[in-house]
């Protein structure tokens, strides 16, 4: 072997000590295979991206987001059993195009109608007022966002919603018992609304709020717990409703917001601070509990309960006199629940318990009877 070529890498030829060179044909075949491999890889990548894009587009077309609803204004998004425009037309027919004869309740941002669907199922349809469109639109979206996140036996079930050019509708399960405030304000109904049923309503609301505050991530604050927003089924089981002013807490934010809620149930700290916390609902729950036991809104009694003179108040001052005097066991249970309610309405937020603690204690009190 020639010394001048010895040690040079990549050399080939018919020289003793060097490897044989590949033929031109072999080199071309090798290059062709490399090009083919790269081409197939690129083609596979393009196909994958293309199919993914088609799938995402199709999925969005089939299941529009809330933003899509806002843009077209005429889509009905089915959460469970309802079918778009067909359902919308059924609702119009079932309510006589929202005739007052089918109206079963009115609130600040909408009216509720009873509608019997073609399937035979009866639903409650909340139609938002058009007078303050922007405010109602925010309430509408708040309610949809909250109720599509949560499922609990003591929270009203949202079947679906309709964002139409003429009507914004929320379709709920229909609860035969109506609102809690109606049961308390009607003497005949209130007398049948006995102590056991009232305790069960308090327990149900406590469970719902505990779920919203402690089992949902991020937590949800209702902000308008009041007797008009508690619905009852045929067995007097309570369901929390009307999530128009609810707020999904941002754990990385201070959660400042505009004042919302019903006068008489608002936590006192909201008068000087617009910071929303779970303790706002705790206060409202305390007021509601006092109202259920007394049979009417406690009013100025709340201020009296926070003063040192509370010891001078007797249990009978806090009971609904339309009902028979509770038994000794029931009196003990009611007293224990009232003690919790008084802590809930304390002006000091640090003294108020969490809804988880309230829910657990009420369950224990009931089980001890």
Q: Does residue 224 carry a catalytic annotation?
A: yes
**Nearest of 242, 230, 236, 275 to residue 257 by alpha carbon:** 275
Reported as a pLDDT band with limits 50, 70 and 90, residue 130 is low
Give the start-to-end residue ranges of the domains of the chain: 66-173, 180-367
Per-residue pLDDT reduced to its tens digit, 92-128: 999 999 999 999 988 767 889 999 988 889 999 998 8
Match 């149930």 to its residue by tokens.
265
Q: What token pair was written down for 287?
A: 């007021």
CA-based angle 194:195:197, to the nearest 5? 70
**Nearest of 311, 312, 313, 316 to residue 331 by alpha carbon:** 316
Residue with the larger pLDDT of the pair 161 and 180: 180
**Nearest of 78, 40, 86 to residue 62 by alpha carbon:** 78
Max mean pLDDT range (56-65, 131-140, 352-361):
352-361
What's this model's pTM, rounded to 2 decimal places? 0.75
- Spatial separation of the C-alpha atoms in residues 70 and 357, rounded to whole Å: 40
Class of domain 66-173: alpha beta
- The H-assigned helical ranges of 9-82 are 24-62, 66-72
Q: Which helix (DSSP H) or strand (DSSP E) does residue 92 occupy?
A: helix 84-94
Q: What token pair was written down for 18?
A: 């060097």
Match 């044989």 to its residue by tokens.
20
Q: Which residues pair with 158 in a beta bridge?
A: 172
Q: Is 7 left (phi over 0), alpha (psi -120 to 50) or beta?
A: left
Contact between 70 and 100 (Cβ < 8 Å): no
* Nearest-10 Cα torsion for 39, 44, 49, 52: 170
Contact between 122 and 130 (Cβ < 8 Å): no
DSSP string for residues in 4-22 = GGTT-TT--SSSTTSPPPP
- Spatial separation of the C-alpha atoms in residues 235 and 90, rounded to whole Å: 29
Q: Indicate if the pLDDT at residue 69 is higher than 50.
A: no
Strands 122-128 and 168-173, how do they pair? antiparallel
Q: Indicate if the pLDDT at residue 141 is higher than 50.
A: yes
Per-residue pLDDT reduced to its tens digit, 232-282: 999 999 999 988 888 888 765 665 566 678 999 999 988 777 788 999 999
* Nearest-10 Cα torsion for 16, 22, 24, 29: 180
CATH architecture of 180-367: Orthogonal Bundle (1.10)
**φ, ψ of residue 103 in degrees (nearest 5):** -75, 130
Of 139, 224, 242, 320, catalytic: 224
Q: Which residues pair with 155 in a beta bridge?
A: 240
- Spatial separation of the C-alpha atoms in residues 289 and 266, rounded to whole Å: 14
């Amino acid at each position: 072997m020639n010394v001048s070529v010895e040690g040079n890498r990549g050399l080939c030829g018919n020289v003793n000590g060097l490897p044989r060179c590949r033929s031109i044909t072999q080199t071309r075949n090798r290059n062709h295979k490399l090009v083919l491999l790269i081409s197939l890889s690129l083609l596979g990548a393009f196909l994958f991206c293309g199919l993914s894009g088609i799938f995402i587009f199709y999925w969005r077309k089939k299941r529009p987001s809330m933003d899509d609803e806002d843009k077209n204004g005429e889509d009905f998004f089915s959460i469970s059993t309802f079918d778009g425009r067909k359902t919308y037309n059924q609702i119009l027919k079932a309510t006589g195009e929202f005739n007052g004869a089918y109206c079963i309740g009115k609130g600040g941002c909408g009216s509720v109608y009873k509608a019997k669907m073609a399937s035979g199922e009866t639903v409650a349809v909340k139609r938002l007022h058009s007078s303050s469109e922007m405010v109602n639109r925010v309430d509408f979206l708040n309610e949809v966002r909250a109720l599509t996140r949560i499922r609990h036996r003591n929270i009203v079930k949202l079947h679906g919603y309709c964002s139409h050019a003429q009507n914004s509708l929320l379709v709920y399960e229909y609860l035969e018992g109506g609102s809690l405030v109606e049961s308390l304000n009607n003497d005949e109904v209130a007398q049948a609304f006995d102590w056991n049923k009232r305790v069960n309503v308090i327990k149900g609301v406590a469970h719902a709020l505990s779920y919203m505050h402690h089992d949902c991530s991020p937590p949800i604050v209702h902000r308008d717990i009041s007797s008009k927003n508690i619905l009852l089924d045929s067995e007097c089981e309570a369901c929390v409703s009307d999530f128009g002013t609810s707020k999904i807490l941002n754990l990385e934010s201070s959660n400042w917001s505009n004042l919302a809620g019903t006068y008489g149930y608002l936590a006192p700290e909201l008068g000087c601070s617009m910071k929303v916390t779970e303790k706002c609902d705790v206060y409202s729950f305390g007021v509601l509990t006092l109202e259920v036991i007394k049979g009417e809104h406690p009013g100025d009694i709340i201020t009296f309960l926070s003063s040192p003179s509370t010891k001078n108040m007797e249990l009978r001052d806090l009971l609904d006199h339309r009902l028979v005097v509770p038994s000794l066991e029931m009196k003990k249970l009611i007293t224990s629940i009232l003690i919790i309610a008084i802590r809930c309405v304390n002006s000091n937020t640090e003294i108020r318990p969490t809804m988880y603690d309230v829910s657990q204690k009420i369950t224990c009190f009931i089980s001890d009877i």
